[in-house]
Chain A
Amino acid sequence: MGRMNGLVLSLGALGFGILYLPIIIMVIFSFNAGKLVSVWSGASLKWYAGLLENDQLLSAFGTSLLIAVWAATIATIFGICIAVAFVRFGNFRSRLALSAIASAPLVMPEIVTGLSMLLLFISMESLFGWPSGRGVDTIIIAHATFGMCFAAVVIQARLRDFDMAIEEAAADLGATQPFIFLSITLPVIAPAVVAAWLLAFTLSFDDLVIASFVSGPGSSTLPIVIFSKVRLGVTPEINALATVMIVVVAVAVIGASWAIRRRLSGRDQNQ
């Protein structure tokens, strides 16, 4: 028993070590005073200060944030629609085919999604002139497209164990459909909606592959800028930037899991 525990523990430590040690080292070296990323020469915040003066990085950060917020919002709205269609409309015709189509982007290689999106935008432009060129709007559309599949999965799970009787109760008490959805359904599934939004936000914020296909001049997202900088050599500035990104994404993920957990404990109390 003791030996088993020891084995499990060391395997666990190895796994987590492989996962997180590089990240921890990177975070540590973002506070390095020296210019070399692999030699420690005293603590400093100068790379963070440098980030604040780097207009290119700051504007890329702003672009990423803008894209992620819009993409997450659009993805969540469509995700709700997909979830409602699949959970509420029963066994409509071609349901299986539609649900396969709706969840395919979950497993589709990003490079395929990116390339097909690019081809779509180009042919749209030649057909009716919109979108003219690639930019923030095309990235938002692309990110919303794959984000909504994730959002739909998260919201569907919540909607599936939603007690239909409470909607009937609202109808019985004189409410009509759109109002029932806004006053009853949406507030009850709100934790899942928040979780879906944060998930879509995170996916958009750290996406490199799709964004690099559908971005245009002046619409470089943070991952694109980082990637192009790294090709010229890794500087501690990049470490600092990556650390900031980790914080942003971690906050979103922790927020999402908190929202889901709150929903679970709320349901336990209801039973």
Chain B
Amino acid sequence: MAPFIRLKSISKHFADVVAVDDLSLDIEKGELFCLLGASGCGKSTLLRLLAGFESPTKGVIEIDGQDMAGVAPADRPVNFMFQNYALFPHMSVADNIGYGLRRAGMRGTELAERVDSLLKLVRLHKLGGRKPHQLSGGQRQRVALARALARRPKLLLLDEPLAALDKKLREDTQFELVDIQEKLGTTFIVVTHDQEEAMTLAGRIGIMDAGQLVQVDAPRRLYERPKSSFVADFLGTISFVDAVVASRDQTSITIGGYLNICAACDDDLPVGAAVKLAIRPEKIYLSRTKSGNVNEIEVVVEDLAYLGFATNYRVKTASGQMFKLQQQQRRSLDAPLSWGETGYVHFDPQDVIVLQD
């Protein structure tokens, strides 16, 4: 069976700027897919191509098996939720939500009931008569969502849906959005530059850079097993070690030189191959005394930041290699290492990511 949404070698050029560059992507029905990337990476353009506000310079967009070339935004089974919500300022909440339904010819009690059920869905059932400027940011966001869902689109496109909300409200709204998506089973494509938001919302995330998808995967795999140093560096914090393979056996490689690090690796890497090792901060353990574990390295504390629930360290080996690590505060009585003190870090070979770029 063909995927619900299929992008085949899509390119979009604006004058001499390439916003989307030969990008292909399949999305299944009912998925909550996140496009994540820095601003200007082409993710919003991709969304506008799907909505039909722009047409691709090259390539084919298929939604539900139908080629979208030449199909106007109004005629696509797609609705769009705008970054700043784009509510109609002169209309009440109910009229905003009912706008698309009226266009579809719905009138009278049928219209009223549908608007009512949408208001209930987004928990605004007492505010139908208000004007947008009488609502809080979070309420406006929910009106925009209800309005975009009103025509029961097969696909909903959300452009930075939570960016205009403050942090606390954003966290609550993230879960609400996922709930509504699961309840309706509509396919959602969300564009965001906020990693945490993408991780919370998405079933799959596509990371974009310079108009191309760098990696498409589930949040966990993207974080734990990035395929390139760009993705590793883009998501969260990470320490890189440039190295050359010194020896290898069935399941691991060892690098030599200044540092001796053993890393789990199934790839067929010959001795002498240049690699980049990457380790997440929470996978590195720091202690005052030698423990005798594998991958144990003596370090000096360069910098530390106390966060309450944890402490972030930057430590340096004798050879000048830096590691960023995060130590959870399990017991408040632990005397943490301080600036300039010497300690030992160690990490599991399984937690070392081997990158070849």
Interface residues of A (CB under 8 A from B): 163, 165-166, 168-176, 179, 183-184, 187-188, 190, 266, 269-270
Contact = CB atoms under 8 A, between A and B. Distances in A.
Nearest to A174: B103
A266 B103 contact: no
Which residue, of A165, A176, A190, A269, has the highest number of chain B Cβ atoms within 10 A?
A165
Interface residues of B, number: 27
A170 B88 contact: yes
A-B pairs, top 9 by smallest CB distance, nearest first, are A173-B100, A174-B103, A165-B86, A269-B133, A169-B86, A187-B90, A166-B86, A174-B74, A172-B80
A270 B89 CA distance: 8
Contacts of B86: 163, 165-166, 168-169
A188 B88 CA distance: 8
A266 B87 CA distance: 14
Contacts of A166: 86-89
A269 B99 CA distance: 22
B82 A168 contact: yes
Nearest to B133: A269
Which residue, of A168, A173, A183, has the highest number of chain B Cβ atoms within 10 A?
A173
A175 B100 CA distance: 8
Interface in B119-160: 132-134, 147-148, 150-151
Given A166-B88, A168-B53, A174-B100, A270 B82 contact: no
Contact of B79 (A163, A173, A179, A269): A173
Interface string B67-99: 000001110001110111011111000000001
A211 B148 CA distance: 53
Given A171-B72, A269-B134, 15 more contacts: A163-B84, A163-B86, A165-B82, A165-B83, A168-B73, A169-B86, A169-B147, A172-B53, A172-B74, A173-B74, A173-B147, A174-B74, A174-B103, A266-B133, A269-B133
A171 B89 contact: no
B51 interface: yes
B85 to A, nearest CB: 8
Contacts of B99: 170, 173, 175, 183
A172 B79 contact: yes
Contacts of B100: 172-174
B90 A188 contact: yes
Interface in B42-75: 51, 53, 72-74
A271 to B, nearest CB: 9
B104 interface: yes
Contacts of B51: 172
B88 A184 contact: yes
A165 to B, nearest CB: 4
Contacts of A169: 80, 82, 86-88, 147
Contacts of A170: 88, 99
A266 B103 CA distance: 27
A91 to B, nearest CB: 12
Contacts of B90: 187-188, 190
18 contacts: A163-B86, A165-B83, A165-B86, A166-B88, A166-B89, A168-B80, A169-B80, A169-B82, A172-B80, A173-B74, A173-B79, A173-B151, A174-B74, A175-B74, A175-B99, A179-B103, A266-B89, A269-B134
A171 B132 contact: no
Contacts of B134: 269
Contacts of B148: 172
A95 to B, nearest CB: 18
B87 to A, nearest CB: 7
A166 B132 CA distance: 13
Nearest to A187: B90
Nearest to B134: A269
Nearest to A169: B86
A173 B103 contact: yes
A219 B89 CA distance: 44
Contact of B151 (A165, A174, A176): A174
A166 B274 CA distance: 52
A165 B85 CA distance: 8
Nearest to A179: B103
Which residue, of B78, B80, B88, has the highest number of chain A Cβ atoms within 10 A?
B88
Given A173-B99, A174-B103, A165 B84 contact: yes
A172 B72 CA distance: 9
Contact of A270 (B79, B133, B147): B133
Contacts of A168: 53, 73, 80, 82, 86
A169 B48 CA distance: 12
A174 B104 contact: yes
A109 B78 CA distance: 55
A171 B78 CA distance: 11
A166 to B, nearest CB: 4
Interface in B140-192: 147-148, 150-151
Contacts of B78: 172
Interface in B12-69: 51, 53
